Structures are given as structure tokens and as C-alpha cells.
Amino acid sequence: MNYALVTGGSRGIGAAIARRLAAAGLGVIVNYRSNAEAARATADAIAAEGGTVCLLPFDVADEAAVDSALEAWEDAHPDDRITVLVNNAGIRRDNLMIFMQTDEWHRVIDTTLNGFFYVTRRVLKGMLTKRFGRIINIASLSGLKGMPGQANYSAAKAALIGATKALAQEVAPRKVTVNAVAPGFIRSDMTHDLDENTLRKLVPAGRFGDPEEVAALVAFLASDDAAYITGETISINGGLY
């Protein structure tokens, strides 16, 4: 069976992506770091909808953990392969630069950027061998525009967009596409602390987006119809930028 690996697939945007890709007929590997309860709920929902799902907890920022988890999965699934990778795991540790702690800087870069590197390098081997793959990186409006209070997050997401463009050119001859999606304000645990009623006035569409709307875009990029789109960053932000 062909599988999609969704990092941070247990909650929010990642969970919506996992459900959507399962509905499209892919087996789904739901990765998460620590919240097993949320991961189990997402897996149960996918199974209830008739999808094939397995949970694979690991910290994307831990190189050894990434390699050993994916090796174990491959050993347990000799007839299956990962054809779609969605690098979605991400965290916010907002602070003005002048107050930013070293740990806040590194944790955000480690998760978004180093996590992308460790997971993608590991999964890419199989895609290049089989001459097919879809890699979709969840970037952010912050990586395009920059957001005050988010120098760490903006830097990580901008770097992810740069890596998307470079890798796309490396692997296009092997029919592997690499694209990024740059959401604006999307309702999830990550934006739970934001004042939606005030911030939505900045959005031409007048509202925050839903995780399912991002998932629909990711599902398109993962589909055969998107075979000629690569190295692209697609905004999904209600006209905000």
C-alpha cells in the first residue's frame, strides 16, 4: 500500500491533512511527539471513516529518533512504501528579539527546519529509488512576510521555503515534486490564544481559515493532477498577503 507520512499529524492542520489523505485512499502514518491521546483520537477517526492508519511517535528534531522510528516502520511494512511526505510538525515560541531566549530560538529552528531535514532525507531514499514522490512542506505567511515577535519562526519558515525550491530542482528528474504551503491564520491549538475577533478584521476574507481548507490544498498537491507543480509556495490566507 502507498502511505503518506504526516509529521505532527495528531492535531490541528496535520490531523485534517491525515484524514483527507486517508479519504483519498492512502494509508496514513500519523506522527506526533508527546500527546498520545490526541493522536489516538485522530487515528480512531480515520479508522472509523474506513481509512488505514498507524501511529508513529517521534520527535522530528531528534535525528536518531527519526531514523530508528522510520527504520522500524519499514521493517514492519516490507510491502508498503511512503509516497507522500507532509512536513507539518511545528511549534511557536514567540518573543520580541530583544527578549528572545536562546532556547526559544533553537527549539523553533530545530523543529521546523532540522526536523524537515532529518525526516525528508530519510524518506527521500525510497522515493528516488521508486521514481515517485510528493513532498509538501507546511510553511507560513510568517516565512514570506516576516511577523514581529516571530523572528525565530519567520526564519525557520523562510528557510523551509528556500529548501523547498532547492530540493525541488534536485529531485524533479525522478518524478518527485516538492512544494510548500503558506497558511495565514488557521483555527487550531497553535492559534487558540490569538484574538480571532480582532485579527479577522485584517483578513480580506473576514475570517480565520479552517484546517480542512489547508488539507484540501495539500491533497491536491499530493495528487497525480499536480505532477507538473514543483518548487512552488502556495499561500492560503484569505487574501491577507
164 contacts ligand NDP (rule: CB under 6 A): no
Q: Report in angstroms how near the CB of residue 43 gets to ligand NDP at its nearest.
A: 12
- Nearest-angstrom CA–CA distance, 104 and 154: 13
3-state class percentages of the chain: helix first, strand second, coil last, to nearest 5: 50, 15, 30
- 153 catalytic per annotation: yes
Q: Which is nearer to ligand NDP, 128 or 212 (CB)?
A: 212
In sign, the C-alpha dihedral spanning 231, 185, 46, 119 is positive
154 contacts ligand NDP (rule: CB under 6 A): no
Instruction: Give the range of 7-15, 45-53, 71-79, 226-234 binding ligand NDP by CB under 6 A.
Output: 7-15
189 contacts ligand NDP (rule: CB under 6 A): yes
Q: Which residues contact 152 (CB under 8 A, 6 or more apart)?
A: 93, 95, 100, 104, 105, 108, 109
CB 167 within 8 A of CB 116: no
Instruction: Give the range of 85-93, 121-129, 215-223, 224-232 binding ligand NDP by CB under 6 A.
Output: 85-93
22 contacts ligand NDP (rule: CB under 6 A): no
**Residue 34 buriedness (CB in 10 A; 0-12 / 13-18 / 19+):** exposed
Instruction: Give the range of 67-75, 77-85, 127-135, 188-196 binding ligand NDP by CB under 6 A.
Output: 188-196
- Nearest-angstrom CA–CA distance, 124 and 120: 6
Q: Specify which residues 4 forms β-bridges with.
A: 28, 84
Q: Which is nearer to ligand NDP, 89 or 217 (CB)?
A: 89
Residues that bind ligand NDP (CB under 6 A): 7-8, 10-14, 31-35, 38, 59-61, 88-91, 111, 115, 138, 140, 183, 185-186, 188-191
Q: Which residues carry out catalysis?
A: 153
